A and B are shown apart, each in its own frame.
Chain A
Amino acid sequence: MRKRVIVHKGVYYDSVKLMLVTNEMNALEGILETAVVMGTDLNKETLRRTDLISPEAEAATPTDMIVAFAAESEAAIDAALKNLDDSLNARSAAEESGAYRPKSLDTAVKMQPGSNLCIISVPGKYAKDTAMEALRKNLHVMLFSDNVSLEEELELKQYAAQKELFVMGPDCGTAMINTIPLCFSNKVNRGDVGIVAASGTGAQEVMVLVSEHGAGISQVIGTGGRDLSVEINGLMVLQSLAALNEDTETKVIVLISKPPAPSVAQRVISFIKEKIEKPVVINFLGQSFAQKTDGVIHFEQTLEDAALKAITLSAGIKKEPLMKNEIIETIAANEGAQLGDTQTHICGLYSGGTLAYECLLMLEDAYDYVESNLSKKHKVKDLQNLAAHTTIDFGEDAFTVGRAHPMIDPSLRNASFVDALKNESVAVLILDMVLGYGAHMEPHKVFVDSLHKFNGNSAVGSRHVPVIVNIVGSKNDPQNYQQIAKDLESAGVIIAPSNQSAVKLAIAILEQKRMQGGK
């Protein structure tokens, strides 16, 4: 086997482009493994693990591109390098269409007069300056970039508030404005439920559930996950609530966030009581309230409950939980009976942060010890060898610096999925499968392939590992929802109608195994 590692200083390509180029290189004859990545710590760590690192690559910075090959021969690497330039410089469909691409925002707004929204997904280091420039030009901003400091976020949001502009973000992956899904967002039915979300996949879960179960969506405004922190003090949440209150298409408002700082929660609740006339469903994930309602406010503890309450308020339909207890008990009895003695832990591998967090809260309610990269109490000790109830958010900053989000590039999450399948202590696996614009067209495929390989591998014995998947998607999304569900089911996966029901089911399976004493 031959290896070659090359570093290109001061070269930038976006993470999706590099992922696609890596996939193209991997398909070439004689190439065993390729990595075309920016020189971030996470990427260098991955290169170390796969033994594709060199001293020069170790010294690379996030603004350097590392190209690493393992191949059958030097000739194969030479041929791949010739292809690499073509792939990196390949023109996208938009470029092929002949559309001129301006190099400055000044030129862009001159070329497209009436521009009103700027979507920004440049590396975090450059995001604030780019967003400020857009705000100065009176553009609303959707800031997809992460790794933006709190100080920078505050400066942007204070400036935007003066100009009555939205700053959706930073780290905002989901919005839907005037029925147009932006970045990671689903194609849902139009309706009168408006969503304000300090949580991307939380918004996706609720918008999909509302749309698929009897109502529709007017707007989804993402605020970035830290908007309800003490430092930002709900600047964009309050602005968004006020905007939806005035929006004639919106009848019901849903507010989704991780539990805010208590002072900020109080500020938001007071603001709603004083200024908002429409019903507001609040889901501060996992936070319970003494009363279920307070004036126009309805408090709900889970994303599913928030969605069902919004449907009730919008369409007057009283909804039952999406997965009935009898169904959960039946599946749990069947699956629990097939588990072995060593299988003791639930493992949630998520691409969606809020879904991972909801899973963490539910597991912590059921068990004393749960590990998670989202937990303040117990961090994940060993990603390759999970030894406790665990939930992991693969979309967290540490996993996405210089590489595509797990909804676009499932490879990291799939590697952990394979490790977890082989892990004798894992009893049940939970995955989210997020569909919609921005997401992978076949996000399930690598997991289905891994499952087929696992099930066909006699070396792991007859161990049965139930895999529960919540598909966060609508039938109108660009992906083929029905086919994805069919492929998953044919690999033995249990499809749950929501994240809440997926976790409930996992806990019920383990409880059944405990009651039945295992195999």
Chain B
Amino acid sequence: MSTNALFQQRLQVVNIGLEQFQADLSSQNVEVIQLQWRIPTTEDKRVKAILDAFAKLDEEGK
């Protein structure tokens, strides 16, 4: 995939945060899903580091 591949695709959006953006896209018939975002329950740096490490392993397919 190259950056400009996006220009050949139909936009499908995940919106995280201000709901207005989701409403605006929906009104233009763009496929959009709104995430129910909340402030993370933990701000413990060690826990975040462990979660990041898991995410990396997951990405590498391990």
Contact = CB atoms under 8 A, between A and B. Distances in A.
Interface residues of B, number: 40
A14 B11 contact: no
Interface stretch (A67-75, A95-103, A377-385): A95-103
B6 A105 contact: no
B17 A112 contact: no
B24 A437 contact: yes
B18 to A, nearest CB: 4
Given A120-B17, A121-B17, A136-B59, A180 B30 contact: yes
A244 B4 contact: yes
Interface string A103-137: 11100110110111111111100100110011010
Contacts, number: 147
Interface in A207-242: 219, 239-240, 242
Interface string B10-26: 11111111111111111
Interface in A1-52: 10, 12, 14-17
A119 B16 contact: yes
A234 B38 CA distance: 33
A397 interface: no
Contact of B14 (A16, A117, A165): A117
Interface stretch (A139-147, A276-284, A425-433, A466-474): A139-147
B41 to A, nearest CB: 9
A116 B35 contact: no
Nearest to B29: A180
Contacts of B39: 10, 12, 63, 123, 126
Contact of A242 (B3, B37, B38): B3
Contact of B23 (A92, A138, A181): A92
Contacts of B19: 14, 16-17, 92, 94
Chain B binding surface SS class:
mixed
Contacts of B21: 119, 121, 144, 182-183, 438
B59 A115 contact: no
B55 interface: yes
A341 interface: no
A166 interface: yes
A144 B6 contact: no
B3 A116 contact: no
B14 A164 contact: no
Contact of B33 (A14, A92, A108, A183): A108
Contact of A134 (B5, B14, B34): B14
A364 interface: no
Contacts of A122: 16-17, 37
Nearest to B22: A94
A246 B48 contact: no
A183 B22 CA distance: 9
Nearest to B16: A120
A79 interface: no
A69 B37 CA distance: 28
Interface string A367-396: 000000000000000000000000000000
Interface string B34-57: 111111100000001000000100
A438 B27 CA distance: 12
A114 B27 CA distance: 20
A93 interface: yes
Interface string A393-416: 000000000000000100000000
A249 interface: yes
B34 A138 contact: no
B8 to A, nearest CB: 8
A179 to B, nearest CB: 9
Contact of A117 (B2, B6, B17, B22): B6
Given A112-B12, A180-B30, 12 more contacts: A99-B34, A103-B38, A109-B14, A112-B14, A117-B13, A119-B16, A122-B17, A134-B16, A136-B55, A164-B1, A182-B21, A244-B4
20 contacts: A14-B17, A16-B18, A94-B22, A94-B26, A99-B33, A108-B33, A109-B14, A112-B12, A112-B33, A118-B13, A118-B15, A119-B13, A119-B15, A119-B17, A121-B17, A122-B17, A126-B40, A134-B16, A177-B7, A438-B24
Going nearest first, the 5 A-B pairs with the smallest beta carbon separation are A121-B17, A243-B4, A101-B36, A437-B24, A121-B18
Interface of B: 1-7, 9-28, 30-31, 33-40, 48, 55, 59
